[in-house]
Amino acid sequence: MPIFLITPTGARRDQFALCAKWMKRQTYSDDVVWVIVDDAYPVTTNNVGEGFKDKWTIVRIHPTPIWAGENTQGRNIKAGIDFVKENYKREEVSAIFIIEDDDFYKPHYLQRMMELKGTFDIWGETNTIYYNVGCRRFADNNNKAHSSLFQTAFTYDVIPVLEMYYSHKFIDAAIWAAVRNRFLFHDGTLSIGMKGMPGRGGIGAGHSKAMTMPSDISMGALKSMIGEDYKEYERYYRELQTRPLFRSR
């Protein structure tokens, strides 16, 4: 059975390019269906297409109306979930992941998450790290009761619960509170919530310069967490000094 990755995105060329790089490196060896929901114009996700990766199927969805500045996360997740429901039966879905376009995923992220699946309906990592590239600051959210959405996987049986919370400001906290057969763990930070990148702005607190976070001027803390991949974000930090956080393109 394949696993399904749903990525709500749009107007985030730079973030999505990195997301594609992190997905390309995934060591998970079974079938994957990557549902890319891009709601902006011009489309910025064409760098992922047929032949992207062995045993990966790429699905593109372009919801309308196109993004006009509002928060469309719930709508775009719904579009991805509806695709799964309309085309696959429960027994054909091994797991569903929300892969957010601006976050960092270690190469073994999907593999390790599936190793930890067990018989749980929802599972994910605690102690989410936020790293704001524009500010070069980071924080451990110390979340113990739920996993951030980008670090969460769930089974087909959780879909009815998720559907109740598409319009909720904090979808992740809501579904984790509602599902009882769950598993929270910490496994050395399999992924990191990257904030303050170029392109369409994010809605979470980590995107704001007002959020109190320790400084990481040298980006040494980021390097200690993700190794030489920190250089990708160092490059974007330099670019952010000469261009605005968002511009239409």
Instruction: Read off the pLDDT of residues 8-57 as tens digits, 9 standing for 90 and up.
Output: 999 999 899 999 999 999 999 999 999 999 999 999 999 998 899 999 99
Q: Within a domain: residue 246?
A: no
- In this predicted model, what pLDDT tens digit does every residue of 54-96 receive, in sequence order? 999 999 999 999 998 888 999 999 999 999 999 999 999 999 9
Sheet holding 129-132, edge to edge: 104-105, 191-195, 129-132, 137-140
Q: Is residue 248 part of a domain?
A: no
Alpha helices (H) in 25-132, listed in sequence order: 73-87, 109-115
Q: Which amino acid is at 2?
A: P
- Residue 207 token pair: 């995107």
Q: How far apart are CA 235 and CA 82, in angstroms?
A: 37
The answer to whether position 216 is within a domain reads yes
Amino acid, res. 222: L
Dist. CA 76–CA 28, nearest whole Å: 25
Q: How many of the other CB atoms lie within 10 Å of CB of 220?
A: 10
Six-digit token string for 97: 């992941």
CATH of the domain at 142: 3.90.550
* Residues 181-203: tens digit of each pLDDT: 999 999 989 999 999 888 766 56
Would 18 be classed as within a structural domain?
yes
pTM of the shown model: 0.91
d(CA 128, CA 140): 6
> In total, how many domains does the chain have?
1
Give me 28's structure tokens: 């998970």
**How much is the pLDDT for 204?**
56
Residue range(s) defining the domain that contains residue 211: 3-240
Cα distances (angstroms) measured from residue 242 to each of 137, 193, 238? 19, 23, 7
Residue 210 in any domain: the answer is yes
- List residues bridging with 122 in a β-sheet: 154, 182
Q: 249 in a domain, yes or no?
A: no
pLDDT digits (tens, 9 = 90+) for 164-184: 999 998 999 999 999 999 999
